[in-house]
Each structure stands twice: as C-alpha cells, then as structure tokens.
C-alpha cells in the first residue's frame, strides 16, 4: 500500500487522544509476520490498549477465519526445508534423465562431464542440508508464535475489557443489507468489491461485511467525543482512491463525508504498517527489523531506486541472454532474430512474498513486473550485408531477492529512508531471474499496419519478396533467398539473384 501518513500529520492527530479502530485483515496479517515483528507490534499496541476499539463485525470475522490463517501460516514454515529438497531433487532427476540419453548416443567426454556435475550436485545437497539446519531455529520460533495464541489472547483481552462494540441487531442488519444492495449497484463504498463472495455464500450476505463494520464504526463515532484512526490493510477501490497502478492515494471521499455526517471530529485511514511505524516513532519504540518487514514492498522499491533498476538488472541477471536465447520472445514475434538490445529497463512493481531475518541479516524475496517502458530493439540478419532492426516494448515479470545486513546503530527516518538505505547498500546482494514475457507491443506493427504477409496475411511478416511484398517466416520456406540482398524469390536463377550476380561480376 503506497498511501502513507507522514509523521507530522500523524503526530498532529495523535495529540488529540483519538480512538484506534482495527480492521479484521490488519489483525489476521499478524500471523504472517515473523515472531520478532509480531512481538514488536504487540508491544506497541499494548502501550495504547485503552485507545483501541474494534467493531463486533471484526471480532466475528476474526473468529471465523483465524484458524485457517494459522494453518496456512504454519504450513509455510513447515514447508521451507521440504521445498528446498523438492527443488533439488527435481533438478537432479532431470539431469540424470538427460545424461542417460546422452550416454546412449556416445557423446564424447560425456562421462567426464557427468562426474563433474554429480560432484556439484553433492555440494548443492550439502548446502541445502546446512540451510535447513541454519533456519530451523527461526522456523521453530515462528511456529511457536502461531501456536501460543498471542493474537487470540490479544483479541480475547479486548473483548474482556469492553473494547469490542455491540453486534448489530437483526433489524439493523436487514436495513444495512437493503442499503448495501443500493450502494453496491452504484459502486458506493465500502464493500462493493466483495460481490464475488456470493459465489460461495448461500445467504448472499457476507459481501456486506465491510458495510456492517463501517456502520458499526459510524454508530460508535456518534457516541464518543474523539477523532478516529481506522487501521486497514484492505487496498481495494471500495476503500481508497487508486492511481493508475492501482495503489491507494487517499481514502474514498464518500467515506470521509459520511464520517463527518456522524461526527464533528477527524477521520484518518492508515495501513497497519504505516500506523505502527508512526506510533513507534512517537513513543520511541522503533524497530529496524519490524519496519523493514512490515513495509517490505515499498522498502524494496526504495532499495531499487537507490541503486538504479537498470544497473541492478544489467549486473545481477541474464535478461539479455534470456531474450536472445530462450525462445520466449520468438514465440511472440513469430520470426527468428539475430540479436536483442535493451534500450530502457522501465519501472518495476514489486511484491515481496517472504522476509527472512536471522540476526542482523535480512533476506526479502518476491516477484517483480514491468508493464511500462521496457523497450527493446530486435535485429534480424538476412545476409552478411543485410540487416533490419525495429523497436518493441515488452511486459515482463520474474523473481527478485535482496539480502543485506542492517546496522542497529543507524536509525530509520520513516519520512526519509535515504540515510538508512545508504547504510545497507554496500552489503546488499540482489538476485533477479525467472523471467517471463507477458505481452509484446511491436512498434513496427503500429507504424505500418499494412505489412501483412503477401501469401497468408500474417502480420509477423519480416521478410520481403523480389517485388517488395511482405513475407512471413513460415511462407518463406516456399521461396529461395538471395544470400547477397536478402530478398526472396520463387526461384533463383543460380546462387544469387540476377541483380546481385550482375553486381558481383
């Protein structure tokens, strides 16, 4: 979530002794963090427990979902070593299969190569085993965090201390459902993006969960003489105004207006990570590790901005080799090319899936996608003396990881991370790979849409006949190419076309 409240804005509202309302997703996300980060979040939240309030709808949704969230989170930790072994075994089986075939063909020195690769496989297996041992302590720590029920205990404590609102009555729910049908029809927030819940809900009422929560929040706001900070990790358009990249830029104005109709005080929406970062700073309880993990997507983008995306990709990946040799690009363009040059690496979007923390060493792993601005030049060689090139833009995705060491003595300024980023940049290692082309926009096609193959009509016609007509690679097999000029003829009079033969004589 890219929308962040600055510390100055937060501090101004926080000084008014406001109420903090937690959404269900913000609470359930605590199961997905490391034990160290979860500990830090609870330390911060417990320091303001008298200011926290949750609607009854949040408690109901939590009780309905937390067991499945725990199961999935526990599985993630238990699968770490199994996944490493599975990847290794799959690769080994594939290599063994190929070498059995190669030996049958009596390729030269194949046994020597096989022995070398087997030695490396043993080394990799040893490293995989060492990895399993090194991370086992962290895995067990996170499993313990899930099993000891700290999140559940936090929720129970809120309920027992009267920090949970009253459930909506039957008549109130009927009224909310009726209003919700009208609001959703006109895409009035919140909750209309949950309409797909109808597919698995026989009652057709679960889709109104966000609206029930919102109505309970408004009802509570009427009874208190305080401002409200609503903490949600929901980043959909039925809560936020989104930019062209579907990132939140501000709360939906309809929600702000509706709150003002029910309260004379201020209303603020924040993600859990943004809230914890600001509150930690206000209370001098900051944690580097927790900040990085809870803001991992944006932190990764800041690391990229510091180093330069083009520098990271060109020096830490084989993207150029992938585009030239993998065959994936050829499947999109429909012809054989001789070279690919990257002119612009574009701007990435990052989604961090996993953050591993061992001591002061942090590893962030996830995926990236570039949907704008990755510009390439594709070159085709038709002969020794004839070459054509044209530009294209591709959408590409892949895997990315960052590993770096943090210095506990360097503080993070949540409104300006430059100093902290600089302190870790020298120790950072970046790995980028697993590329996949998702779309190609051929600028030549846009500039000249009448270059279809003269024989079959294909728009991937990169060759020319003797008459200057476009010809695709598939149809070119029915022609003969002059090796000098690169033009295609129904039949050549000799080794070269008449024109080239004359010029060579």
The reply to whether 318 and 410 lie within a common domain is yes
Q: Is residue 112 part of a domain?
A: no
Low-confidence ranges of the chain (pLDDT < 50): 446-449
Tell me the C-alpha distance between 296 and 376, whole Å. Answer: 30
Q: Which two tokens stand for residue 198?
A: 């109808």
Tell me the C-alpha distance between 10 and 185, whole Å. Answer: 35
The reply to whether 332 and 183 lie within a common domain is no
What CATH number corresponds to the domain at position 196? 3.40.50.1010
Domain boundary, last residue among 281, 315, 331: 281
Q: Is residue 325 part of a domain?
A: yes
**Residue 151 · residue 44 · CB < 8 Å:** no
The reply to whether 191 and 266 lie within a common domain is yes
| pLDDT attached to residue 449 | 45
| pLDDT attached to residue 323 | 92
Q: Is residue 80 part of a domain?
A: no
Domain boundary, last residue among 395, 410, 442: 442
The reply to whether 400 and 359 lie within a common domain is yes
The reply to whether 332 and 408 lie within a common domain is yes
Secondary structure of residue 384 in the 3-state scheme: coil
The reply to whether 271 and 380 lie within a common domain is no
The reply to whether 276 and 306 lie within a common domain is no
CA distances from 202 to 10, 205, 407 (A): 42, 8, 53
The reply to whether 212 and 267 lie within a common domain is yes
Q: Is residue 140 part of a domain?
A: no
What is the pTM (predicted TM-score) of this model?
A: 0.74
Give the β-pairing of 339-345 and 361-381. Answer: antiparallel
Domain boundary, last residue among 410, 442, 474: 442
CB atoms within 10 A of CB 130: 10
Q: Is residue 175 part of a domain?
A: yes
CA distances from 16 to 10, 265, 271, 292 (A): 10, 10, 20, 28
Sign of CA dihedral 488, 493, 495, 498: negative
What is the widest separation between alpha-carbon atoms in the chain?
100
The reply to whether 178 and 33 lie within a common domain is yes
For the chain, the domain total comes to: 3
* Tens-digit pLDDT profile for residues 244-276: 888 899 999 999 999 999 999 999 999 999 999
DSSP annotation of 467: T
The reply to whether 361 and 399 lie within a common domain is yes
Domain that holds residue 487: 461-504
Tell me the C-alpha distance between 505 and 502, whole Å. Answer: 5
From the number of C-beta atoms within 10 Å of its C-beta (0-12, 13-18, 19+), residue 275 rates as buried
Q: Is residue 345 part of a domain?
A: yes
């Amino acid at each position: 979530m890219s929308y962040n409240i600055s510390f100055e804005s937060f501090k101004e509202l926080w000084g008014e002794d406001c109420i903090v309302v937690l959404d269900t997703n913000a609470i359930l996300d605590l199961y997905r963090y490391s034990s160290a980060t979860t500990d830090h979040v609870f330390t911060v939240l417990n320091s303001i427990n008298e200011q926290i309030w949750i609607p009854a709808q949040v408690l109901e949704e939590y009780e309905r979902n937390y067991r499945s969230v725990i199961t999935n989170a526990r599985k993630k930790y238990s699968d770490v070593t199994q996944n490493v072994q599975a990847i290794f075994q799959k690769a080994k089986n594939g290599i063994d299969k190929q070498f059995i075939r190669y030996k049958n063909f009596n390729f030269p020195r194949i046994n020597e190569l096989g022995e070398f690769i087997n030695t490396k496989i043993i080394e990799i297996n040893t490293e995989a085993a060492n990895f399993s041992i090194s991370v086992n302590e962290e895995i067990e720590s996170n499993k313990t965090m899930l099993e000891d029920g700290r999140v559940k205990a936090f929720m129970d404590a809120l309920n027992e201390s009267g920090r949970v609102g009253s459930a909506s009555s039957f008549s109130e729910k009927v009224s909310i459902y009726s209003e919700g049908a009208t609001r959703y029809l006109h895409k009035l927030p919140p909750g209309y993006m949950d309409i797909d819940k109808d597919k698995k809900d026989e009652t057709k009422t679960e889709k109104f969960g966000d609206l029930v929560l919102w109505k309970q929040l408004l009802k509570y706001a009427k009874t208190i003489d305080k401002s409200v900070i609503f903490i949600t990790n929901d980043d959909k358009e039925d809560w936020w105004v989104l930019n062209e990249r579907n990132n939140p830029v501000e709360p939906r104005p309809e929600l702000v207006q509706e709150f003002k109709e029910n309260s004379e005080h201020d209303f603020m929406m924040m993600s859990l990570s943004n809230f914890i970062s600001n509150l930690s700073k206000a209370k001098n309880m900051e944690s580097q590790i927790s900040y990085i993990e809870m803001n991992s997507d944006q932190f990764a983008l800041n690391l990229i901005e510091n180093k330069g995306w083009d520098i990271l990709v060109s020096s830490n990946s084989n993207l150029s080799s992938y585009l030239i040799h993998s065959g994936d690009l050829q499947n999109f363009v429909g012809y054989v090319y001789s070279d690919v040059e990257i002119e612009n690496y574009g701007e990435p979007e990052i989604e961090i899936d996993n953050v591993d923390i061992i001591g002061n060493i942090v590893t962030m792993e996830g995926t990236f996608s570039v949907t704008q601005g990755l510009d390439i030049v594709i070159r085709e060689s038709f002969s020794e003396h004839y070459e054509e090139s044209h530009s294209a833009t591709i959408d590409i995705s892949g895997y990315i990881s960052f590993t770096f060491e943090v210095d506990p003595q360097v503080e993070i300024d949540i409104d300006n991370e430059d100093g902290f980023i600089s302190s870790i940049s020298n120790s950072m290692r970046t790995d980028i790979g697993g590329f996949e082309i998702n779309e190609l926009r051929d600028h030549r096609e846009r500039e000249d849409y009448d270059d279809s193959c003269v024989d079959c009509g294909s728009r991937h016609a990169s060759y020319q006949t003797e008459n200057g007509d476009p010809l695709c690679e598939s149809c070119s097999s029915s022609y003969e190419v002059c090796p000098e000029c690169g033009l295609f003829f129904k039949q050549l009079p000799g080794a070269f076309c008449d024109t080239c033969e004359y010029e060579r004589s």
